[in-house]
Structure 1
């Protein structure tokens, strides 16, 4: 039975992953290493037999794990965070890939590789594993460091590099691919802008409606459905399934409902991400890896040295402080899943030896093994590198960094450029949005016809109606592009016209050139083959008529969309986020770091105030934030109590944070203390002729001494519910008290002994 086989495989996989993960964590390794080893053990290549019946289905489930994992990465690296990384991340990624390429060429010359093989190896080394990096950043509590955010941003962009390299390698001829690469990058950029723009317009409305009208269970189901839909859209568009999941996570990260979504998907992410990593381990053939062990060790060693050097140098060039750049470089050491794909392409094209796939997988596994160890000792590694680096090189890097800081602090650009720059950016984004709509409309129509309209007799009606709708949709940004172009022309005319050229001439020239450029651009991206010439002519005439009659309405729609986007992004950059940014600015100078930990369910200190725990006095770290059920208490007072599930933000030196985290996450309730948080009970006790008979409740201090609450007193002919502090306890009274078992036991002793 297939269903039973799947259950058996799933049970085997999860148990193997759990056992291996526990063992690896106990000896100080990442759980990812355990998952990979579990995959090797239960996989088809490890004798005497495979423990997995249906490998194909497990591989399919691993894609579900990849979707959840990339979604969680997107939740952690929101659009606003990614925007703050800015051009530095993009240029740093490109430079890092360039340096890796040239270092690999030197390696190829040394070992006499053919040029094609060198190019394939370079492509494999250009891409790190975003899944591994995100998991280990979380395990090491490095998520709040700017170097970690840089590394996460770069590893996402490296997926774009991988797509480009696959295009180049697929052609098998590095030359003459500039046009293909240009169209690929243009299409990818258009897809990203289309998905983000549409998502920011539609997802906030969806989340608000779900929050108002649906319970949490239905909210989770709908969000999961949208997640897989966008991941599928990315695949249908010809890109990675991870791209759609990551972008949706980045969109949801801008929503106020982010915390609830994180909690809802946490368990699913953990389960299916383990399936993903175990499935990678299942692809490893230990015999092939062992037979080529010199190449495996050599390639892994080269990657562990070349990637940190290349990415660190690239980040230093774009202005990142040297230590921060080195830390980001060390995080980017593990080779990614794209390395396996690139190796497969090379082997299939007979440009790489048949055993090179196992070499690539083995080297990747070794980099995953080494990455957590290297980053636990990163400060020592960086200090060693600084000692062995020539003094002139260190002085040159410091001087270069100071020069970059001076460049960033240079006088503000002219007013005209300030006014033009923002509008040029808007034109670029709106142009990419229009490009995305027109490029991907044909596949959408084809899919809709195959799925829903196969038996529809009036196919032409649907086709013309669809393209009429697309025309109306793109009219709004097209009108905005033209208005921005006219404004830029006017500003340029006023600025340049102060010289020898008349302002009207400059303005008209820019408008004319812009109109020609817009016409050529639309001609290049409109799918002319979808309709006959007269059909497009009719749509163009109708569009011109709509613009002439409803131009103000189109402008209003564009303003509404723009305001909606700005509102979403403004809401995301709230005071808490700004506080985090300000807090992180000076951490490096003071050798301070941020760390996170979660109060476990069985914490022995649950219910105790921060004052009682004395974390600053005992460990040197400070609790600067407590998050509970999505609500944040900033700068908590010493009287704030901690409860299971609370997320604490710690501030201190690395060792101080680790010591505090170890205490907070491992301090478990001892046997016999479970009833403290096992729930309260009601019990009736009789007041004896003891020291408290005749005292009022307030004077006796019953609540302070025992912890119980007196909710009722019964005496002959009288029953008092919720008595006040002036009510007396009389001998023979039956007292109804509320408290835990230990508190009630304490109350009984108190009645007798005082």
Structure 2
């Protein structure tokens, strides 16, 4: 008789029982997760009326794979654009809810006499709501179209991210000791942020690009193998660096989610996720011991009450604190009053680390099951509770709530500073992370490796040279004149003199980061000291900041990163609205005429010396004088008395220019309100053919004469008699591109010109 491995017998029993129980639960209109838990209880060691599994170790290993695939699938459904679009409401509400429930869970555990680690993990479990249960309840109650459901889904997205971070921090605290110092915790958080940023930047640049390159070479079979291989590879890497396997799986899933064939990968991986996920939830049910549940009836009751009341208070309060109305806040809070599958994953983490008591797992399963059944009733109770609160609230409280949750608009100054600081912080965080990673790699890996094969001076020289070359494009971006957002920087600079000092501090911060990176190369790697190292830093900084080639290399890297980040969203947008695929170009660009005043200080100066493009981002499209009309004037063109200047730029760039005109007394007066390019082109068609401006889109293919050259080197203004106003690179759109940008194959170049431009392009066979 042929011998079957034990795992096959166990899997046959698990899947057959799980199949029948889930069919039953589907029939009675209950979540499938509960069916899996019941199947686990039936096949587990605590139910004596049915055969039980014999190899617990193998089932446990398969359940860990289930956690990996559940988190990988969660990452595949994740979108960085969606995270950006959920707004501050979801972030504030999630922070209040998780912070409050962590405290509720911890103090509830301590009051029940549990130890510190049990209570800490309990707080983490109680803070996570169930996406599966909420979606099912909304569908059953036909509430998906309600306004509050969008906020609930936003909160669930942020909760998933917070859950991943929480697992890492809980694991760190559990492994270190029961009493982790504040310093150790802060170091763990800093280390986590460092690796998350590094993985995000490198992964977003490499992973979607790889899938795009290999798209035609991979069939469905290869796609599954490669995707799962990358997932497990990131799991191994994350584990070796001291993080959880769940974090690695989620990160790789979120990176693959931005690939062009992400939907297909998600579809192909779904059956594998369902299989292993089922085994995980069945293994959860195997932990349920009726004896412990009866013994722990009081703690279960206490935690159910704490979960429902705590979620109602903190979820409602968090949404209310974010500025939403009382009605919306109450409905959101009552929708989130349960715990679900993520709590099982946190509990599983605690069990695998051996830091939580065995009785906690079945208790949390029982709390989850009970709150699952109460969820629809809580959602239906939201409206009556809201009406009751309205009746009980004093008039003064109602008036205060109306003022607090009313529409508040920041003034321009506060909003501009907020946008500038947000962009500056994000860019500097990415730059510092990348520079630190390069420095650490050079000092701890490259230098020792070369030191074993080369003599000492040469190993240091080669390490320093390689580090300098790799860092240079990033340092070129750090050393640009403005603090990350040139338009906002200039707008704030020209708006008020009091802004100059804080803006200079931001620039000083960038210079400090660049100087520290260069000093590391010359002092640590080359072993130069004192004055010589400082002089080398200054010379290197001057070389980097003046290099157009380095700027073009950085822009190439940045554009590829932004294409990968935005392509999935832009592709869906264009599929849903194909007629609006070019509206960014028509609406983003605006044109306005300025009259030159008699006493203007710019009279008699060349356009190059005025530097309108470099300082404000605007281009001079036309000089219209009494006896002359100069289209697409070059830098040598002189501004004369009586000229009218036609400027083109984005709305923010023109605002910067207006502020500069006022502060610097340039002697220019706006003739009229700005027109969008669409409006300008419609009015322009009324002119004679030879006076009309033409807008053309030119695809740069492999035969294009400007492929691989920068905008500055191509000199299209003189060669083609046109002005480059926009560029599309995949989903990445650039208005008024930087002169150092290098053209790549399949770029779509937008140009403005007149009939002379058309004749040139036809003659050179560009069109």
What is the TM-score of this pair, normalised by structure 1? 0.62
Shift of 1:256: 3.3
- Taking structure 1 as reference, are residues 137 and 468 closer, same or farther at Cα in structure 2, changes over 3 Å only? farther
Partner of 2:297: 293
Matched, 1:92 2:93: yes
Partner of 2:363: 363
- Taking structure 1 as reference, are residues 246 and 317 closer, same or farther at Cα in structure 2, changes over 3 Å only? same
Partner of 1:217: 221
Deviation digits for residues 518-557 of structure 1 (CA, Å, limit 9, x no counterpart):
667999xx8999x878399999999987765564333222
| Conserved? CA contact 2:483–2:507, under 8 Å | yes
Alignment of 1:135-146 (within 5 A): 145-146=149-150
- Taking structure 1 as reference, are residues 233 and 168 closer, same or farther at Cα in structure 2, changes over 3 Å only? closer
Report the Cα distance in structure 1 between the residues aligned to 2:462 and 2:517, rounded to whole angstroms: 24
Matched, 1:188 2:185: no
| Conserved? CA contact 1:40–1:46, under 8 Å | yes
Alignment of 1:586-665 (within 5 A): none
- Taking structure 1 as reference, are residues 488 and 334 closer, same or farther at Cα in structure 2, changes over 3 Å only? closer
Report the Cα distance in structure 1 between the residues aligned to 2:165 and 2:396, rounded to whole angstroms: 32
Report the Cα distance in structure 2 between the residues aligned to 1:150 and 1:34, rounded to whole angstroms: 26
Report the Cα distance in structure 1 between the residues aligned to 2:90 and 2:96, rounded to whole angstroms: 10
Report the Cα distance in structure 2 between the residues aligned to 1:2 and 1:548, rounded to whole angstroms: 75
Matched, 1:155 2:151: no
Deviation digits for residues 244-265 of structure 1 (CA, Å, limit 9, x no counterpart):
3223333333333222112211
Partner of 2:676: none
Partner of 1:70: 71
Can you give the 5+ residue segments of structure 1 that lack an aligned partner in the other structure? 582-754
Report the Cα distance in structure 2 between the residues aligned to 1:367 and 1:21, rounded to whole angstroms: 20
Shift of 1:346: 11
Shift of 1:176: 4.9
Report the Cα distance in structure 2 between the residues aligned to 1:23 and 1:218, rounded to whole angstroms: 36
Report the Cα distance in structure 1 between the residues aligned to 2:69 and 2:424, rounded to whole angstroms: 36
Partner of 1:340: 347
Deviation digits for residues 95-153 of structure 1 (CA, Å, limit 9, x no counterpart):
223322454577578x4758947953663445426686688589869888412232232
Report the Cα distance in structure 2 between the residues aligned to 1:475 and 1:74, rounded to whole angstroms: 33
SS at match of 1:22: helix
SS at match of 1:413: helix
Report the Cα distance in structure 1 between the residues aligned to 2:474 and 2:160, rounded to whole angstroms: 32
Partner of 1:268: 272
- Taking structure 1 as reference, are residues 174 and 466 closer, same or farther at Cα in structure 2, changes over 3 Å only? same
Partner of 1:79: 80
Shift of 1:175: 8.4
Shift of 1:487: 6.7
Partner of 2:598: none
Shift of 1:57: 2.3
Q: How many residues get paired?
A: 563
Matched, 1:309 2:313: yes
- Taking structure 1 as reference, are residues 571 and 138 closer, same or farther at Cα in structure 2, changes over 3 Å only? farther
Report the Cα distance in structure 2 between the residues aligned to 1:580 and 1:395, rounded to whole angstroms: 47
| Conserved? CA contact 2:515–2:537, under 8 Å | no
| Conserved? CA contact 1:284–1:361, under 8 Å | yes
Shift of 1:47: 4.0
Matched, 1:568 2:564: yes
Deviation digits for residues 392-434 of structure 1 (CA, Å, limit 9, x no counterpart):
5597887666545545434433686377346414433423542
| Conserved? CA contact 2:201–2:430, under 8 Å | no
| Conserved? CA contact 2:77–2:254, under 8 Å | yes
SS at match of 1:333: coil
SS at match of 2:53: coil
Partner of 2:709: none
| Conserved? CA contact 2:125–2:347, under 8 Å | no
Report the Cα distance in structure 2 between the residues aligned to 1:294 and 1:459, rounded to whole angstroms: 72
Shift of 1:37: 2.0
Shift of 1:566: 2.6
- Taking structure 1 as reference, are residues 31 and 163 closer, same or farther at Cα in structure 2, changes over 3 Å only? same
SS at match of 2:86: helix
Report the Cα distance in structure 1 between the residues aligned to 2:126 and 2:522, rounded to whole angstroms: 38
Partner of 2:687: none
Report the Cα distance in structure 2 between the residues aligned to 1:340 and 1:102, rounded to whole angstroms: 17
Report the Cα distance in structure 1 between the residues aligned to 2:299 and 2:522, rounded to whole angstroms: 52
Report the Cα distance in structure 1 between the residues aligned to 2:137 and 2:540, rounded to whole angstroms: 52
Shift of 1:289: 2.9
Shift of 1:10: 2.1
Partner of 1:58: 59
- Taking structure 1 as reference, are residues 487 and 212 closer, same or farther at Cα in structure 2, changes over 3 Å only? closer
Partner of 1:431: 431
Matched, 1:31 2:36: no
- Taking structure 1 as reference, are residues 397 and 231 closer, same or farther at Cα in structure 2, changes over 3 Å only? farther
Partner of 2:527: 534
- Taking structure 1 as reference, are residues 372 and 436 closer, same or farther at Cα in structure 2, changes over 3 Å only? farther
- Taking structure 1 as reference, are residues 39 and 468 closer, same or farther at Cα in structure 2, changes over 3 Å only? farther
Deviation digits for residues 443-483 of structure 1 (CA, Å, limit 9, x no counterpart):
9959xx9xxx9xx9789999997886566444433332232
Report the Cα distance in structure 2 between the residues aligned to 1:274 and 1:412, rounded to whole angstroms: 52
Shift of 1:213: 2.0
- Taking structure 1 as reference, are residues 169 and 16 closer, same or farther at Cα in structure 2, changes over 3 Å only? same
Report the Cα distance in structure 1 between the residues aligned to 2:76 and 2:137, rounded to whole angstroms: 14
Report the Cα distance in structure 2 between the residues aligned to 1:397 and 1:257, rounded to whole angstroms: 52
SS at match of 2:258: coil
SS at match of 1:483: coil
Report the Cα distance in structure 2 between the residues aligned to 1:277 and 1:199, rounded to whole angstroms: 31
Report the Cα distance in structure 1 between the residues aligned to 2:290 and 2:114, rounded to whole angstroms: 27
Shift of 1:271: 0.7
Shift of 1:277: 1.1
Report the Cα distance in structure 2 between the residues aligned to 1:548 and 1:308, rounded to whole angstroms: 58
Shift of 1:334: 1.0
Report the Cα distance in structure 2 between the residues aligned to 1:287 and 1:458, rounded to whole angstroms: 68
What is the TM-score of this pair, normalised by structure 2? 0.61
The one of 552, 577, 585 equivalent to 1:556 is: 552
Matched, 1:483 2:480: yes
Matched, 1:18 2:25: no
SS at match of 2:428: helix
| Conserved? CA contact 2:90–2:158, under 8 Å | yes
Report the Cα distance in structure 2 between the residues aligned to 1:342 and 1:61, rounded to whole angstroms: 14
Shift of 1:494: 8.7
Deviation digits for residues 336-379 of structure 1 (CA, Å, limit 9, x no counterpart):
1365268659984xxx8xxx541x32332123323443343444
